[in-house]
Structures are given as structure tokens and as C-alpha cells.
Amino acid sequence: MIIGEVRRYLRDNNSIRVSRSIRDLAYKVLSVKEKYNKDKHSEPSVEEIAKILDVEVEEVVMCLDAIQTPVSLQEPVYGDGVESIFLMDQVKDKKNNEEYWTENITIAEALKKLNSKEKNIMHKRFFEGRTQMEVADEIGISQAQVSRLEKNAIERIKRIYK
């Protein structure tokens, strides 16, 4: 009875709540993994574990992920005594940083100041990566007109944001 109470306490007082069925499947997976390792002296693949337990591969992966202990982003992963590298530094999103967001907002606001033809040309040229000739053919004007409209739009944006 005491062991049951201890198990219940440990199960119910984790920082992330995982259902009992998922936790039970995870323990079965770990048991199969251990038995397989003992018998064949190698690690089983996720597919092999799923086949042995007669469950989907996704379920095996999900249940193993669910029982992992959460790790803080402030957890040091390396420290030489002077400076530490934290997990947050290792998983940092270099593309979607604050500067990227502010640039996108500025560009979106600048494009709002253009007329529809200029917006269309700027979008095709700089967001879709089209050439001036491709844009000209698509909207039915000459390449020289596309060049002129593009240049005027860029100049207007420069004037607004200087």
C-alpha cells in the first residue's frame, strides 16, 4: 500500500502531467528495449519496438518523449569556470530574432504606403524572387516600366524612412 502511495505521489506531482496510459506504454517500451538489448546485444529500432508491442511507431515515439524530464533553458550545458554556455544559447532561433521582426514590420508598413501596382511589383520582385522581365510579362507592361516603377517605389520608401 505504501509503495502504491509513493508511486501515485511521483506520478501526480510532476511538473508536466502525462496520462497513465501513455506512461504505462512508455514503461512497456523501456522494458521491451531492455529485454531486446539483453537478448540481441543491440538497440532495437522504434519500428521493431512498435511491432513487438503491436502499436503505431508514432505512439512509441510520443510516449518516450512524454516521460522525459523537462529541462530548463537556463540549464548550463558547458562551463569552463569563467563562462557558461546555456541550453538557450544552443537552441536559439537566429532567423526569427527581434531585429528580424522589426525589419519585417518596417517593410510591411513601407509597402502600405505604395499604390497597388507598386506593391504588386515589389512583392513579385523581392518576395517571390522574380526578374523584371518575368514581372513585366506577367502584368503586361515593359521591363523598362517595371524598372521605373520599382525605382520610384524604392525612392518613396527611402524618403518616408529618412
pLDDT > 90 fraction of the chain, expressed in percent and rounded: 45
3-state secondary structure of 19: coil
Q: How far apart are CA 147 and CA 153, in angstroms?
A: 10
Q: Which comes out higher in pLDDT, residue 124 or 1?
A: 124
pLDDT digits (tens, 9 = 90+) for 19-37: 788 888 999 999 999 999 9
Q: What angle do CA 7, 13, 19 make, to 5 degrees?
A: 75
CATH number of 2-70: 1.10.10.10
CATH number of 113-160: 1.10.10
What are the start-end ranges of the H helices in 13-142? Answer: 20-40, 46-53, 57-66, 87-90, 98-112, 116-122, 132-139
pTM: 0.43
Per the listing, cell 506512461 goes with: 23
- The domain locations on the chain are 2-70, 113-160
Q: How far apart are CA 104 and CA 124, in angstroms?
A: 16
pLDDT > 70 fraction of the chain, expressed in percent and rounded: 91
Topology alike, domains 2-70 and 113-160: yes
pLDDT digits (tens, 9 = 90+) for 52-95: 999 999 999 999 888 887 778 788 877 777 788 888 777 767 67
Q: How many CA atoms lie within 13 A of 144 on its CB side?
A: 0
